[in-house]
Amino acid sequence: MLSFSKPISRELNGNQMGDFMKKFVAGTAAVLTLAGVAGTVAPALSGVTADAASKKTLTVGFVPSNQADTMEARAKPLAKLLSKELGGRKVKVVVSTDYNSIVEALGSGTLDVGFLPPDAYVQAHKEYKAKLLLQTQRYGVNKEDGSPTKKLVNWYKSEILVHADSDIKDVADLKGKTIAVQDVSSSSGYIFPAYYLNSKGVNITKDATLQTVKGHDQGVLAVVSKQDDAAFVFQDARNLVKKDNPSVFKDTKVLALSMKIPNDTVTARADLDKATRTKVTNGLIKIAKTKKGHDLVKNLYSIEGFAKGKDSNFNVVRKAADWAKAQ
């Protein structure tokens, strides 16, 4: 799943964290998930030509989870399958350095469809009336052992992890403790667990010491080694270290789970015609159900499938952003 993280390897006090949150909400980091700093649309998007917004060509934007050329190579076979679902209409792959450029390109009409994380979708919808087509699906997680369920869901959760023999029995016990967190732009590694704890009366920037670590695996290991008392990680990040730490599930326990965090989206520009939106929506759902198509989307962003999305699913993202803005 997408990590929403650009780690800063140092401890942050409450005032520093508050400053970072304000920057996050202001938009400097809000839509950066996997790479880059937001720039102007033109240099950030590769492969945009004069026919990018023409009716003959459907342009679809991606941000790489690794090297840009690798993402383009992975996305082009999917574009060919989608082209067939659109009756032979050309589908052009556009690779961006960051999600902000995808949002701006949807707003300007130079991009028709983009794969966006929740916060970027909310921004695109608010600023440019972009339309939600789909949410990605992945298998749910069994709370007991971290294994995948057999049910596909369009959401995930963050978990607050502590050591198995910890004296932390309730979220209130986190006061005065040290917590391993991800960067403040991380949904599951900072924003949502912090928002959840606030609803339970725990203000982590005032009540706890926050130690930023590089990656959810490092958050888990910080608890295993007792370097930190707790960690904010996605459910269940313990699988990331299970191979090298077979006893990780025995050595740790989940103190609490956050509210549901909506999965990433497939989003269309506001004025993309309804017929095309419907074909893209139904086409991607159909493609993901075939073996070849499933392998392609799984290779892109670990996607198992697609489901039609509702804008109301993202109200929790808006509420979390409003809370963060007030910090």
**Which class is 41-138+263-325 in CATH?**
alpha beta
Q: What angle do CA 275, 279, 284 make, to 5 degrees?
A: 155
Residue keyed to tokens 């599930």: 249
For the segment 100-109, what is each residue's pLDDT rounded down to a tens digit?
Answer: 999 999 999 9
Residues 6+ apart with CB under 8 A from 38: 27, 28, 31, 32, 44, 98, 100, 101
pLDDT grade for 45, boundaries at 50, 70 and 90: low
Give the containing element (helix H, strand E) for 291: helix 291-301
Residue 177 — φ and ψ, nearest 5°? -95, 170
Q: Is the pLDDT of residue 47 over 60?
A: no
User: Which amino acid, one-letter code, is at 219?
Assistant: G
Bridge-based pairing state of the strands 178-181 and 209-212:
parallel
CB atoms within 10 A of CB 86: 16
Q: How far apart are CA 167 and CA 174, in angstroms?
A: 10
Query: 306 with 285: CB under 8 angstroms?
Result: yes
Poorest-pLDDT segment among 161-170, 180-189, 208-217, 234-243:
180-189
Q: Is the pLDDT of residue 233 over 90?
A: yes
pLDDT score of 111: 97
pLDDT score of 322: 87
Question: Shortest CA distance to 92 belongs to which of 104, 105, 100?
Answer: 105
**Domains 11-26+158-259 and 41-138+263-325 in one fold:** yes
**Which class is 11-26+158-259 in CATH?**
alpha beta
What are the beta bridge partners of residue 181?
Answer: 212
Helix axes 315-325, 14-26, angle to 10 degrees: 130
For the segment 179-228, what is each residue's pLDDT rounded down to a tens digit?
Answer: 999 988 788 999 999 999 999 999 999 999 999 999 999 999 999 999 99
Q: Would you give the DSSP letter of residue 264?
A: P
Mean pLDDT of 290-313: 95
- For 104-114, give one letter per residue: b (16+ CB within 10 A) or e: bbbbeebbbbb
In this structure, what token pair is assigned to residue 234?
């996605």
Q: How far apart are CA 87 and CA 8, in angstroms?
A: 47
Q: What residue segments make up the domains of the chain, in order of their start?
A: 11-26+158-259, 41-138+263-325
In this structure, what token pair is assigned to residue 96?
């961006």
pLDDT grade for 69, boundaries at 50, 70 and 90: confident
What are the beta bridge partners of residue 215?
Answer: none
pTM: 0.79
Concatenating the DSSP letter of every residue in 75-116 gives HHHHHHHHHHHTTT-EEEEEEESSHHHHHHHHHHTS-SEEEE
Q: How far is the CA of 287 from the CAs of 70, 239, 277, in angstroms? A: 21, 29, 15
Q: Is the pLDDT of residue 54 over 70?
A: no
- In 3-state terms, what secondary structure has residue 153? strand
Q: How far apart are CA 153 and CA 131, in angstroms?
A: 21
For the segment 71-98, what is each residue's pLDDT rounded down to a tens digit?
Answer: 899 999 999 999 999 999 999 999 998 8
pLDDT score of 23: 40
Q: How far apart are CA 264 and CA 309, in angstroms?
A: 10
pLDDT grade for 41, boundaries at 50, 70 and 90: very low
- For 26-63, give one letter per residue: b (16+ CB within 10 A) or e: eeebbbbbbbbebeebeebbeebeeebbeeebbbbbbb
